[in-house]
Amino acid sequence: MAHAHHRWLNRRRLLAAALAASVPAAMVGRDSRAQDDLDDALSVSTAGWQTDFSKHSVPLSEFQSGGPPRDGIPPIDNPRSVSQAEADTWLAPDEPVIAVALEQDDGSVVARAYPLQILLWHEIVNDTLGETPVAVTFCPLCYSAVAYDRRLEPGGTVYDFGTTGNLRHSDLVMWDRQTESWWQQFSGNAIVGELTGAHLTFLPAQIVSWDAFKQAYPEGDVLSRETGFDRPYGTNPYPGYDDIDSRPFLFDGSTDDRLPPMERVVGVVVGNQGVAYPFPLLQERRVIEDQIDSEEIVVLWAPGASSAVDTREVVDGRDIGQAGVFSRDLGDRRLSFGPGPADTFTDAETGSTWDVSGLATVGDLAGGRLTPVPHTVVFWFAWAAFQPEGRLWQPPG
């Protein structure tokens, strides 16, 4: 087990060395006495940070260095987008992308695909989609893809996010450049600094195959590989990481033994209730209907999306499938779903055909879209660490 941890730490350090040119200049630190006091509780470096470490909502001892320094894994601050036709020259049909689609005031939908082959090397994209400033984030160590509104309130300050170089429960800890507060990628909570207690608004984000994105959003565009950085996009710096028998990287404490630590689940939080849906059960059933709090939801699963952290070349990753979570209510009608032909789904009320992106493709409801419910696909160890009181979905009876 220790050898596995050293292997992953060395790979993170190699990644840091490759990205060293991106590290910003150090800023003025705190006085040495305060620094000494902080180091007693905080095992990671505080040098150069202007963060108010006296404010925090989690124990400072839970932070660990992930290897790279602050912004050693550089966020993309000036993203460019390209057409689907151009992206077809370097994206394979089953490669995973983060699909972010936002409805505009006029009812139209603006969508952009963020390929994981790029996010593996950057983890954060500070972008604007339509009129909304968004942070699209991906933690390879937890496999969690989460999108946020970069404002705490409409019309408020737009925050720019980077990587602290630190982890908590093996999950990316972000920072904002405006206040230098630290944020948990998994939850969107500010957990250290001036903004402690603040929470970013989740935006719908779904990991789907490139092919599924194109079918669902034919007018959508794609994050360009022209990021301003020279990176080997298409290669995976964590080959073999999602082996079901692996131990999560830099994760302290015991793991919940109801599932293997590296099993993927679809995690959904509605109100104060969190529920995890294991990928093996989703693959077996393809459709799960459930109620969380007062929300009636449906979880859909289809094959056709590869893992980004399986093989050295992302394109060669094994098929792990793709999932989406949606409200069952469409207008004033509540729909019931079941598996349809091939990789599609059918509602019992109209017999319309739906895809994993929540789009009706055939039938009376063709062209309709289900309302997405924010969720994340994540390794079980991370979900159980952040949602210890959450429910693990099991078949009725």
Task: Note whether 229 and 121 are within 8 A (CB).
Answer: yes
Residue 318 sits at the vertex; the CA angle it makes with 316 and 319, to the nearest 5 degrees, is 120
In DSSP notation, 19-47 reads TGGGPPPP-----HHHHHHHHHH--S--T
- Neighbouring residues of 257: CB distance < 8 A, sequence distance ≥ 6: none
Token look-up 């050693």 returns 72
Task: Note whether 297 and 375 are within 8 A (CB).
Answer: no
What span, in angstroms and rounded, lies between the C-alpha atoms of 129 and 109?
A: 10
**Of the candidates 277, 271, 278, the residue with the CA atom closest to the CA atom of residue 292:** 271
Where are the alpha helices (H) located in the chain, listed in sequence order? 2-18, 32-41, 84-87, 116-119, 210-216, 279-285, 380-386
**Of the candidates 281, 267, 232, 22, the residue with the CA atom closest to the CA atom of residue 143:** 267
- Return the pLDDT at 379: 97
Reported as a single tens digit per residue, the pLDDT across 277-314 is: 999 999 999 999 999 999 999 999 999 999 999 999 99
The pTM (predicted TM-score) of the whole model is: 0.90
Reported as a single tens digit per residue, the pLDDT across 85-112 is: 999 999 999 999 999 999 988 888 999 9
Strands (E), 130-278: 132-139, 144-149, 161-168, 171-176, 182-184, 190-192, 202-203, 205-209, 221-223, 264-270, 273-278
Residue type, 358: G
**Of the candidates 160, 221, 162, the residue with the CA atom closest to the CA atom of residue 23:** 162
Which contiguous run of DSSP H or E holds residue 110? strand 109-115
The ranges assigned to domains in the chain are 264-392
- Return the pLDDT at 249: 80
- Return the pLDDT at 397: 76
CATH class of 264-392: mainly beta
Q: How many CB atoms lie within 10 A of CB 300?
A: 25
Reported as a single tens digit per residue, the pLDDT across 5-15 is: 444 445 444 44
Pairing status of strand 287-292 against strand 295-302: antiparallel
Q: What is the pLDDT along the chain (397 residues), one digit of tens a residue?
A: 334 444 444 544 444 444 433 333 222 233 333 444 444 478 898 999 999 999 999 999 999 999 999 999 999 999 999 999 999 999 999 999 999 999 988 888 999 999 999 999 999 999 999 999 999 999 999 999 999 999 999 999 999 999 999 999 999 999 999 999 999 999 999 999 999 999 999 999 999 999 999 999 999 999 999 999 999 999 999 999 999 888 888 787 788 999 999 999 999 999 889 999 999 999 999 999 999 999 999 999 999 999 999 999 999 999 999 999 999 999 999 999 999 999 999 999 999 999 999 999 999 999 999 999 999 999 999 999 999 999 999 998 7
